[in-house]
Structure 1
Amino acid sequence: MSLLYSSAIPTESVTAIEAALIKVFNTTDVTSISLLAGGLSGAAVYKIVVGNQPYVLKLNAANNTAASTDNLALAAAAGIAPSLKYEDKPAGIVISDFIDNQPVRATFAPDKLIEKLADAIKAVHAIPFNGEGKDLFETVDALIEQFKNAKLLSGPLFDECFRYYETIKYRYPRTASDKVFSHNDLNPTNILGDGERIWIIDWDVAYLNDRYVDLANAANFFVQTPAQEHVLLNTYFDHVVDDHKMARFYVMRQVCRIIYSLLMFQLAGQQKPAGYTHDQEMEGIDLRAFGSLMALGKLSLAEYEGQLMYGKALFNEAVQQMRTPRFADAMAQFE
């Protein structure tokens, strides 16, 4: 089957993709093409079958090709990302091995999964990387400014949160030894399992960053208890964990929740129906309630209502955590 006859593939991409197929497989015959994901990341991801073997074809948006970096190649060479077959950065075309995903939460017991995540993060952070990093707090500052300018939501809760954030920004340690090659978006959609091990995909926003960002993001999605926090950090740090490391980890969890909430608000703003007024209510919207509605199929992160509610739930969780004695104790570690 030629790509020319597949409505799944954008017409303007066919020529470049067929050139890639010839280079990798010496054929343009594709048995099947199916869309795996697309929309939120600005990239379309397909499963293609060539010669009875499945592969992943990813089409990056024109402004999301990561043309100046080799993130995916580095991760694939390290055995953390699926094997890379082809990458054309200017054209935004990637072909890689297909992982027949078996959800990691169903495959591994919680503590075992956390150990595997910690080992994977450690392997990511061990990758030699000569690219430039970004200042984490400059990134957050820009997100906050964009949020305020958009005038989506406002009120005392937001003012309180941003006051806490300003304190974090000026007191959180900037340690050169903790700048490592980081994935920066370890959410469940980017973590696949094959039944034995985990694979990490979607390296578009990887760059030099604080090691605690990956640890915090993984924890925010997979860690439920203080005991599991200790499993994650003890595995990652080879059982050399002190109060200072715990403090940085805990504070970074709140920073990452703020980041994800602001990104969700951005998406909601883009998806908002014409003439629709955002619901300003923040009370009673938490991650448990959001998760229950997602599980029932009543919300979707691909749609406005799901994006807005998830942003609110993450924001509320960050504020609630920053009001606790544990947060005050963590911040005291930075004096």
Structure 2
Amino acid sequence: MNNALLSILPPHKLKVVEAALQQTFGTPAVEAIELMTRGLSPALVYKIQVNGKAYILRLVMATNELVDPAREYTCLRAAADAGIAPAVLYADADAAVSICAFIAGPPIWVGLPDKDIQLKRIAEKVKDIHALPLFPPLINFMEGMIAFRDRFLETKMFPESATAEHFRHFERIRSVYPIHDELVSSHNDLNPANVLYDGEKIWLIDWEAGFKNDRYVDLAVVALYFAANEQHIDTFLTAYFGEAPTALQRAKFYLMRQVVFLYYGTIFLRMAAEMKDTHDQDMKVPTLLEVKKMMSKGEVNLGSYEGKILYGKMLMQEALTEMRQPQFEAALALLH
């Protein structure tokens, strides 16, 4: 084992990493190692070089009711076998260690700057995921949202009255949404950090949140991160369904979009609550489109407290704004 690896890895992971490297490459040594930027997952992701070639080493640092390496690796292997995820060289659920091929290339918005082409290509990839044999189950997404809501309320960041209308409308969605009707293999976290482009092909990584879920969760997550307006959403949904979506499909998407706003909103606000004890009580912040523009200029850092609370408030605000629209009432009525 070389000193570079010893100095950067968590000490309690050294032996299992050595074993993984030995089994995969016939040596426990690496020529280079670099900690990659973390996403929302607490897993540690490293770019390593062995025999002159780059790979991704991923270490799951803690397991719980939502984080299960066995489920993650089942989803990962299925996606890799289908050419959706990078090749899997090693994955040991007991050790919580995986090694995959490294995908080099520009960010997707650079490699595929034409928005219509970008959205159509992503839609094709989402269709590929949803066509896989069903992933293992985890949670009913609506019930999971209740748990996230309750954990957010426990932080007491704001008076309950500040988000009472948000969650009242969520209960209206939950009362009519047919959550068991369209279950598919689902990635559930298709944010830009997990959508890679090698110059020719899109690859999807980080399958920690993968499980059998409602198809509209993936569609709503992609729209959150990649669609800036209704035209983009229409392009994406039409590419996914192979034709213009029906009124029922639009209604399901619209309602799940609000749930996804609330889901990520509570996540970001809870992360902000872990960083400070007191918080600005004003819930009015820039819109989603405005925040995206700020992020493109480097004016918002989601790793900071300020970035997390801004992004969380914005998502909560977006949900409430849309749930006050006539389209929301029409979608609810269609599902009754």
Structures share fold, TM-score greater than 0.5 = yes
Counterpart-to-counterpart distance in 1, 2:4 and 2:12: 10
Match in the other structure for 2:220: 216
Match in the other structure for 1:107: 111
Query: Is the CA contact 2:4–2:33 (under 8 Å) kept in the aligned structure 1?
Result: no
Match in the other structure for 2:70: 67
Identity %: 37
Superposed displacement of residue 39, structure 1: 6.5
Counterpart-to-counterpart distance in 1, 2:170 and 2:77: 35
Counterpart-to-counterpart distance in 2, 1:187 and 1:145: 24
Computed over aligned residues only, the root mean square deviation of the Cα atoms, in angstroms, reads: 1.8
Match in the other structure for 1:11: 11
Match in the other structure for 1:271: 275
User: What is the identity, as a one-letter code, of the residue corresponding to 2:186?
Assistant: S
Matching residue within 189, 192, 196 for 2:196: 192
Aligned pairs for 1:162-173 within 5 A: 162-173=167-178
User: What is the identity, as a one-letter code, of the residue corresponding to 1:222?
Assistant: F
| Structure 1 residues 278-304: Cα deviation after superposition (integer angstroms, max 9, x where no partner) | 111112333244334434434321221
| Structure 1 residues 103-154: Cα deviation after superposition (integer angstroms, max 9, x where no partner) | 1111211011111111111000111025224211110111111111210123
Aligned pairs for 1:150-189 within 5 A: 150-154=155-159, 156-176=161-181, 178-189=182-193
User: What is the identity, as a one-letter code, of the residue corresponding to 2:148?
Assistant: L
Superposed displacement of residue 102, structure 1: 1.2
Superposed displacement of residue 261, structure 1: 0.3
What SS is found at the alignment partner of 1:38?
coil
What SS is found at the alignment partner of 2:62?
coil
TM-score norm. by structure 1 comes to 0.93
Superposed displacement of residue 88, structure 1: 1.1
Counterpart-to-counterpart distance in 2, 1:130 and 1:225: 31
Match in the other structure for 1:20: 20
- Residue 282 in 1 paired to residue 283 in 2? yes
User: What is the identity, as a one-letter code, of the residue corresponding to 1:122?
Assistant: K
Query: Is the CA contact 1:62–1:91 (under 8 Å) kept in the aligned structure 2?
Result: no
Structure 2, gaps ≥5 residues long: none
Counterpart-to-counterpart distance in 2, 1:90 and 1:270: 29
What SS is found at the alignment partner of 1:67?
helix
Match in the other structure for 1:202: 206
- Residue 82 in 1 paired to residue 81 in 2? no
Structure 1, gaps ≥5 residues long: none
Counterpart-to-counterpart distance in 2, 1:292 and 1:306: 13
Match in the other structure for 2:100: 96
Instruction: Give the paired residue count.
Output: 331
TM-score norm. by structure 2 comes to 0.93
Superposed displacement of residue 101, structure 1: 3.3
What SS is found at the alignment partner of 1:7?
helix
Match in the other structure for 2:153: 148
